Every structure is written in structure tokens, then in C-alpha cells.
């Protein structure tokens, strides 16, 4: 038993000179670290919280006294027509007052009225999209225009009503003072054919710019021509208000429509039309293969997925 303990002590507690020196160095290094942590303690720097408390109190007052509860930053170009905006009295500005139409007033005119540059940009952006001020009170809904400024401008707003038909012009032509005025007015209400008009003709319409004119012509080419005036209103990006304004100036000649022969067309030719999705085009081809050639365009009504609405839209573009 004694020899066993001697072997254990010899195996686990006997060190060479190199191991003994390493152990001593490690113990000394540990002692130095321990004593250093006791002797060199970090000094606590007192923190003055008075400044922070004052800033916090100012922030609370600012939040509590805010008139606008929105927690997000709004774009200066955004016009909220759902409700009037409220602003501080410091936003109130004075300018030269005169009668004006907000739909036609230029930038210099708005500056004369004392309107801020950002607000002017907002108004110009609003008008460029084809929207219009319908009544003087609409000015209150412009984001960036203070309530007091709006009240100051409203008595001087006179929105001119455009002539929307030739008959209205003829009934009021006695009010024209010169032949030049009459010529200009007639030119404004001249009808254009939406199937032959170019971009210049469309741009001449109120609320239609280069981009919308290009979209109209692109849509017309994909359709193969417009089958009705109402179809132009389906063009992507045209607001309904703009379409209603230009509608009296439009006419449609359907004799130039490009048609598709449903007895000879392949699936790619059919699906290229905006009104024919792939499943509709595929159904038309399958029905023809199963039942033979179509006897009339109306035969496609026998296809289950061809609704009455779809048939009425696509029928002008089909032939046999």
C-alpha cells in the first residue's frame, strides 16, 4: 500500500527543473496581476445628468405641443387632398394680391403672391400630373401652404371653366372680342381621331404630356387600334379626371382596326393582344382543333372561360 502511494506521488508531484521554473514564473505572474487589480482601481467620474434632463424635458414639451401627430417625414411634393393641413403662424407670409387662376398661374405669379418655393414646386408637380383645382377652397389642401395663407388667397381665386363642346362655343361666341380669339377657341375644341393622331396631337390635349402621349400610342399599337373612345381611358397612367377632361375632344374611326383571323392565327399571335391571356389564346386554338374552323367570331362564346365582358372587348379585333 505504501509503495502504491509512493508511486502516485512520484508520478504526479515530481517535476523536472524546467517544469519547476515554469510553475514559479506562472505563480509570480498571477500574483502581479492580482495585486495590480487591487492597487490600480479606476476612478469613477461623476456624471452630470442635469443637461440630459433638461433636453429630455424640452423634447417632451415639443412632442406634447405638436399639432401634427404623424411620426414620419412626408415628401414635400406630396399633396394631401383628403384634409387641410395646419401650420404655425410663423409660416404666414405676405405678398402681392391679385385675381388669379391656380390652374394656369406660372411660377413667378405664385412668387408674387408670397408662396414659398417648396409649396410652389408642390403645386407645379400636382398640375403636371393632370390634376386640377376645381374650386377655390381646394387651395387649402395643398401641403406646405398655411391655413392663413390659404384664407388670404381664396377671395382672389377665379377658376376659369374651359369650353367642352363646339355647341357651347357657338352659343357664347358673341362674347369674343376679336376674330383671333374665336380662331383660338375653335382650335381648343377641335376633335382628334384617336386612331390616327400622333404624339403632337395628344400633347395638345389638357393634362397630356410626352410620356402619356407615348403610352397612348404604344397601347393603340398593341391593340391594333382603338375600338371606342372609352378604350383610351384604359391607358396606363391616365387619371380618370384627365380622361373626362379630354373625352369631349376625341373621336374614334374603327375602320382602321387591325384584326386577327381566329381560323389561322397561332397561339403567339393571339396572346400578343392585350386582351388575350395565354389560357384564353390556348383555349381558342384547342376549340378550333377539336371542332374545326369557326363559322363566326361569336363561336368563341362557346368556350367556357370566354365571358361576355371579354367577348365584347375582343370581338372587334377578331375575324374568320
Summarised one tens digit per residue, pLDDT across range 61-107 is: 554 544 444 443 444 333 343 334 444 444 445 677 888 888 888 88
pLDDT band at residue 231, thresholds of 50, 70 and 90? very high
The CATH number for 89-156, chosen from 3.30.1370, 3.30.70, 1.10.3470, 1.10.150, is 1.10.150
Give pLDDT, residue 72.
38
Residue with cell 384617336: 194
Length of the chain: 320
Burial of 114 (0-12, 13-18, 19+ CB in 10 A): middle
Burial of 171 (0-12, 13-18, 19+ CB in 10 A): exposed
Is the distance from CB of 246 to CB of 206 less than 8 angstroms?
yes
Q: Any idea which fold 190-256 has?
A: DNA polymerase; domain 1 (1.10.150)
What's the predicted TM-score (pTM) here?
A: 0.42
Give pLDDT, residue 45.
64
Q: Can 89-156 and 260-319 be said to share one CATH topology?
A: yes
Is the distance from CB of 154 to CB of 139 less than 8 angstroms?
yes
Q: Any idea which fold 260-319 has?
A: DNA polymerase; domain 1 (1.10.150)
Q: How far is CA 259 from CA 109, 195, 226, 256, in A?
A: 51, 14, 11, 9
Q: Which of 54-58, 192-196, 237-241 has the lowest mean pLDDT?
A: 54-58
Q: Name the residue among 119, 128, 131 with its Cα closest to residue 77.
A: 119
Q: How far apart are CA 221 and CA 108, in angstroms?
A: 41
Give pLDDT, residue 232.
92
Domains of the chain, by residue range, sit at 89-156, 190-256, 260-319
Amino acid at each position: 500500500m505504501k509503495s502504491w502511494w509512493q508511486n502516485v506521488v512520484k508520478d504526479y508531484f515530481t517535476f523536472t527543473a524546467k517544469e519547476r521554473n515554469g510553475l514559479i514564473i506562472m505563480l509570480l505572474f498571477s500574483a502581479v496581476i492580482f495585486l495590480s487589480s487591487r492597487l490600480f482601481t479606476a476612478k469613477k467620474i461623476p456624471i452630470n445628468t442635469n443637461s440630459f434632463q433638461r433636453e429630455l424635458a424640452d423634447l417632451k414639451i415639443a412632442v406634447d405641443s405638436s399639432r401634427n401627430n404623424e411620426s414620419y417625414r412626408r415628401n414635400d411634393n406630396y399633396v394631401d387632398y383628403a384634409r387641410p393641413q395646419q401650420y404655425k403662424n410663423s409660416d404666414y407670409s405676405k405678398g402681392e394680391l391679385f385675381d388669379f387662376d391656380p390652374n394656369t398661374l406660372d411660377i413667378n405669379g405664385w412668387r408674387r403672391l408670397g408662396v414659398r418655393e417648396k409649396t410652389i414646386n408642390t403645386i407645379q408637380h400636382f398640375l403636371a400630373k393632370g390634376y386640377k383645382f376645381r374650386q377655390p377652397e381646394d387651395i387649402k389642401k395643398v401641403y406646405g401652404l398655411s391655413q392663413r395663407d390659404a384664407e388670404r388667397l381664396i377671395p382672389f381665386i377665379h377658376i376659369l371653366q374651359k369650353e367642352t363642346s363646339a355647341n357651347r362655343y357657338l352659343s357664347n361666341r358673341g362674347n369674343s372680342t376679336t376674330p383671333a380669339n374665336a380662331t383660338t377657341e375653335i382650335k381648343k375644341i377641335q376633335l382628334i381621331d384617336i386612331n390616327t393622331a400622333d404624339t403632337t396631337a395628344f400633347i395638345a390635349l389638357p393634362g397630356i404630356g410626352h410620356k402619356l402621349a407615348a403610352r397612348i400610342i404604344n397601347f393603340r399599337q398593341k391593340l391594333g387600334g382603338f375600338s371606342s373612345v372609352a378604350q383610351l381611358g384604359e391607358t396606363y397612367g391616365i387619371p380618370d379626371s384627365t380622361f373626362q377632361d379630354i373625352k369631349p375632344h376625341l373621336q374614334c374611326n374603327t375602320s382602321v382596326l387591325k384584326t386577327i383571323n381566329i381560323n389561322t392565327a397561332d397561339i403567339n399571335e393571339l396572346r400578343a393582344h392585350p386582351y388575350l391571356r395565354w389560357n384564353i389564346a390556348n383555349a381558342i386554338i384547342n376549340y378550333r382543333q377539336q371542332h374545326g374552323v369557326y363559322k363566326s367570331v361569336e363561336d368563341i362564346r362557346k368556350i367556357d372561360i370566354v365571358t361576355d365582358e371579354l367577348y365584347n372587348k375582343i370581338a372587334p379585333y377578331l375575324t374568320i
